[in-house]
Chains A and B, each alone.
Chain A
Amino acid sequence: MGMTMTQKILAAHAGLERVKAGDLIEAKLDIVLGNDVTTPVAIDVFEKAGFERVFDPEKIVITLDHYTPCKDIKSAQLCKRARDFARIQGVTHFYDVGAVGIEHALLPEQGIVGPGDCVVGADSHTCTYGALGAFSTGVGSTDMAAGMASGENWFRVPSAIRVTLKGKLQPYVSGKDVILHLIGMIGVDGALYKSLEFAGEGVASLSMDDRFTIANMAIEAGGKNGIFPVDERTLEYVRDRFHRPVKVYEADPDAEYEREVVIDLDRLRPTVALPHLPSNTRTVDEAAGIPIQQVVIGSCTNGRISDLRAAATILKGRHVAEGVRCIVIPATQRVYLQCVEEGLSQVFIEAGCAVSTPTCGPCLGGHMGCLADGERAVATTNRNFVGRMGHVKSEVILASPTVAAASAVRGCVASPELL
């Protein structure tokens, strides 16, 4: 029996000829990532265990992106802890305010991760880099500490679900709709402990930003990772930014999959997830009219340049509805600058949006847009759990950038097609 793409990458990093689902292995890591929430805890664990030096300062990435620019004194203390550690250890890829972007948009953009890599990050959305054909998964702070100390982590080799994409995306339908639809089909634990391996002719029609969005939310189906085959578009993306050797892995023709799920992109509708699970999906048509008080456009899921361009096409010449706050957060400094240069920032500001420096902020109810008791938001973020964006009695509806922008204009969940 052959191996899946994920299994091949894990085998190569464990120094093994073959692995099979269920094997427990120890694999070498190309990159170990942490942020301002998880890194301080990892540093505590690292130091308490008596470790002094990280295994390789060029393979550690620390991004201060969650509560920055620091929302309060406690978060400033956390950032200081991470900053001091990065300096003492000589961490090459350390990103502070002014350079930092939301980690999962930043690492691919900066060419820190690439095809064939084995990456762990102390952040659940680390699965994003599967879009590049890497094995990449979220872990906790102790795993980050172990990775920093030894350059290795333990893994249970996952089985896989093959997600076959047919056809191509229609206007106003994006990667966000693909992944929400998939989570709605298989549930929030539908891929528990498993890989989601995307395949089929439909992959070719997906932009890299669409693929990042899709891989990003593999965790919302419980997945260990989500991974895309490497094609011309991937190679074009990494060509001038990723400077380590590109390693392309392909699933064996006889790789074993637990099941196959087929999604016909031609027929996919703009999709939203109602409170309080990402699997609680509806088409935008079914959800239209639900009143909202806030819109957030940004996050590691949908804060990339093509997301903001899509939102701007809807907001251009229009205005955010009375009684709605619309917060736009470019995911990285480069994306922010592109917004300025392309005139998108002006579109957003003229439409009545608040435009912010990169931060994870509102997605996790951290800052920059927390919700009050009884308020409801449409957000391009990734989780709509109870209390996720603020008050325990607030609600989040997940959507694509164009649906979010249309909803901001209408003051309720709305389809961009009807504006």
Chain B
Amino acid sequence: MTTGKVFKYGDNVDTDVIIPARYLNAPDPAELAKHCMEDIDADYVDRVRPGDIIVGGANFGCGSSREHAPIAIRASGASCVIAASFARIFYRNAINIGFPILECPEAAASIGDGDTVSVNFDTGEIVDETTGRRFQATALPPFIGRIVENGGLLPYLRARMEREAK
């Protein structure tokens, strides 16, 4: 469960604006966080507070495969991303590092910039506290849910490989 203020962006938020390539030479999460969303919203880093929520439109996270993008968002303090749809590599990367993302076109369309929103990660329920509207995000497939429950792909893989070795 998380509650936070919304930073709302449009369609096709690409990984170059989430974390520009000029900062990829220093992949430490805290360093990346200093430049998160810099080329789409220069004020984001100064305004974001722990637990805040990024809401995007269609195809969020398109472009480069840089895992630095969800790493930067998480390190900036954001608790999750809600979008109408996610570009597939960003989707994988977020799942693989155990960072919550919620696909929900209705929420993405309705929620406004600056709204206060609550998210229940167990049920996928999204509540816009500012307007009172409720939304249901698409459930994660069970296999992907297990990766997230294990804290990401590598812990999941390690547990599985150890199980198979026995």
Contact = CB atoms under 8 A, between A and B. Distances in A.
16 contacts: A37-B21, A45-B154, A49-B154, A71-B25, A122-B65, A122-B67, A139-B92, A140-B65, A140-B93, A142-B93, A149-B154, A156-B141, A192-B59, A219-B89, A364-B16, A387-B16
A74 B25 contact: yes
Report the interface size class on chain B: 35 or more
B48 interface: no
A383 B63 contact: yes
A50 interface: yes
B5 to A, nearest CB: 24
B124 to A, nearest CB: 18
Nearest to A122: B65
Nearest to A138: B65
A222 B65 contact: no
Interface of B: 12, 14, 16-17, 20-22, 24-27, 38-40, 58-59, 62-68, 71, 85, 87-89, 92-93, 96-97, 141, 143-144, 147, 152-155, 157-158, 161
A48 B20 contact: no
A277 interface: yes
A24 interface: yes
B25 A78 contact: yes
Interface string A44-83: 1110111100000000000000010001101100100000
A124 B12 contact: no
B59 A386 contact: no
Contacts of A138: 65, 89
Contacts of A146: 96, 153-154, 157
A229 interface: no
B34 to A, nearest CB: 14
Contacts of B24: 37
Given A24-B141, A143-B92, A222-B59, A386 B40 contact: yes
A386 B62 contact: no
A385 interface: yes
A24 B25 contact: no
Contact of A193 (B40, B88, B93): B88
B105 to A, nearest CB: 12
B154 A38 contact: no
Contacts of B153: 142-143, 145-146, 154
A383 B12 CA distance: 13
Contact of A124 (B26, B59, B64, B144): B64
Given A149-B157, A387-B16, A139 B25 contact: no
B22 A366 contact: yes
Contacts, number: 137
A50 B24 CA distance: 25
A142 B17 contact: no
Given A38-B67, A188-B59, A387-B39, A140 B22 contact: no
B118 to A, nearest CB: 28
A123 B65 contact: yes
A150 interface: yes
Contacts of A400: none
A202 interface: no
Most A CB within 10 A of own CB, among B26, B39, B66, B67: B67
Q: Which of A45, A124, A126 has the most CB of B within 10 A?
A: A124
Contact of B16 (A219, A222, A388): A388
A125 B59 CA distance: 17
Interface in A351-410: 364-366, 370, 383, 385-388, 392
A75 B63 CA distance: 21
A387 B59 contact: no
Contacts of A365: 16, 20-22
A45 B155 CA distance: 10
Interface string A302-345: 00000000000000000000000000000000000000000000
Contact of B66 (A48, A140, A188, A392): A140
A277 B16 CA distance: 12
A40 interface: yes
A67 B26 CA distance: 12
B20 A139 contact: no
A287 interface: no
A189 interface: yes
Contacts of A143: 92-93, 96, 153
A41 B144 contact: no
A277 B141 CA distance: 31
A224 interface: yes
A44 B88 CA distance: 23
A24 B65 contact: no
A136 interface: no
A51 B161 CA distance: 11
Interface string A239-282: 00000000000000000000000000000000000000100000
